[in-house]
A = this chain, B = another copy of it.
């Protein structure tokens, strides 16, 4: 080949890169991260991060030691223990049996450990599942919107359209679900699964009642779709009484027809910095007559593991050991492990709701409304004006308070008049200061809206 010398440095065009990169979702995630960075002194009612007050690096070492001792007791040989903790490892992970115990103890779920794939956070579990379910352009995902930004992102990255299902006071409009599925099929699409957070959803804070859960499972079976149950916040409901359950059972615990793929997260209940999640995917996969070489037909978990081997190979066993040790030290119960954290979140939630009521009495500000979740990390606030990114920027700059415009959870650019408030990582004092600043913003805007209304009425009068 003849050389023509080096041309100018290689440049790439965004238009030639994956479509997810130019999407509103991708811009959203960037904008939200970046504004927090630009206004570090603002109080953030935006970040849905776990409380940091109990963070303890020394506990991390102890957890790894606990898990190491457990391995030593199981494997009986230091070479094997070191190999398990430090070498390349099993694609599906090494704490699957401990996770199965945790699911039994905390959620009443009887899980086959072989159907658990330990992942790099719940986000990887979600992506593996969507990538597996995406055969061609016809395959689509369903989700109640507004919904977690990360599900929009994962669907776009997996080249799967996300078909929105209507929200409702009970958490999902099941009639709309059926309509969306039927319409999609009529249009030649294949809706494969419904993504849902049944407990203290992000961003709405809503939980599904036991009755709605049952009806949702029946609908999934009747419509022949899977349900992807994401459960990061279920542990953070009201403290159960001695004879009371912690809340309604998970969809997976109620699932008699094998419809539910359970997506687990330890980011809020374990340690965020471990980046450990998992998928429990017990659905049998028919390989067209060919059984696996070990004579068993595989499960969806086996297929997720194959994808994981091409994506991240395996999840860091050191990071898994951190969560494994925490599970071992707490009798497999993260409800037990999170008594202090649950108290913080419940106190903060009550403080936020009281603070809203004090600052926005119904008779003076009838157009400022909010819901009242009983747990989780989020409250949804409705305001009498459009709450978009421009207003957020103004709020950050002039009022030094951050919050999340709800349009980010719709994956379109259309601004709405709702915002998500989060309180999980704040102190009650910070919540007070944040609400004071938010109230200033809302009064300033409401005044403007009123002025504009009066001007309009004046001009049309």
Binding site for B on A (CB under 8 A): 1-22, 25-26, 29-31, 33-34, 49-50, 52, 55-57, 60-61, 64, 68, 79, 81-83, 85-89, 91, 120-121, 123-124, 127, 131-135, 150, 153-154, 156-157, 159, 174-175, 178, 215, 217-219, 221-222, 224, 226, 256-259, 267, 271-276, 283-288, 293-294, 300, 303, 306-307, 309-319, 322
Chain A interface, >50% SS class = helix
Q: 16 new A-B pairs (CB below 8 Å) besides A2-B222, A9-B257?
A: A3-B219, A9-B284, A10-B257, A12-B284, A12-B285, A12-B300, A13-B285, A16-B135, A19-B135, A21-B307, A29-B309, A60-B86, A87-B273, A120-B315, A123-B311, A276-B316
In the complex, the count of this chain's copies comes to 2
Contact B293 A20 (CB under 8 A): no
CB distance from A148 to the nearest CB of B (A): 12
Which chain B residue shows the least CB distance to A59? B86
Contact B88 A311 (CB under 8 A): no
**Beyond A12-B300, A306-B30, is A273–B89 a contact (Cβ under 8 Å)?**
yes
- Most chain B beta carbons < 10 A, residue from A25, A283, A306, A307: A306
**Residues on the B chain within 8 Å of A60, using CB:** 64, 85-86, 318
Residue in contact with A175 in the complex, picked from B1, B17, B135, B306, CB distance below 8 Å: B1
**Beyond A286-B11, A306-B30, is A52–B123 a contact (Cβ under 8 Å)?**
no
**Beyond A10-B259, A120-B120, is A133–B17 a contact (Cβ under 8 Å)?**
yes
CB distance from A154 to the nearest CB of B (A): 6
Residue in contact with A285 in the complex, picked from B17, B57, B79, B87, CB distance below 8 Å: B17
Contact A120 B82 (CB under 8 A): no
A1 CA / B219 CA spacing, docked (Å): 7
Contact B271 A86 (CB under 8 A): yes
Contact A309 B79 (CB under 8 A): no
Contact B21 A132 (CB under 8 A): yes
**Residues on the B chain within 8 Å of A156, using CB:** 310
Contact B13 A288 (CB under 8 A): yes
Residue in contact with A7 in the complex, picked from B14, B17, B221, CB distance below 8 Å: B221
A/B interface sample: 18 pairs, CB < 8 A: A6-B257, A9-B284, A11-B258, A18-B133, A18-B135, A19-B135, A21-B132, A26-B310, A34-B294, A50-B87, A52-B82, A52-B87, A86-B272, A87-B273, A121-B313, A123-B310, A275-B316, A275-B319
Which chain B residue shows the least CB distance to A13? B286
Contact B310 A153 (CB under 8 A): yes
A319 CA / B319 CA spacing, docked (Å): 6
A213 CA / B322 CA spacing, docked (Å): 43
**Residues on the B chain within 8 Å of A159, using CB:** 159
CB distance from A29 to the nearest CB of B (A): 5
CB distance from A279 to the nearest CB of B (A): 14
Residue in contact with A226 in the complex, picked from B10, B150, B271, CB distance below 8 Å: B10
**Residues on the B chain within 8 Å of A132, using CB:** 17-18, 21
**Residues on the B chain within 8 Å of A293, using CB:** 31, 34
CB distance from A113 to the nearest CB of B (A): 16
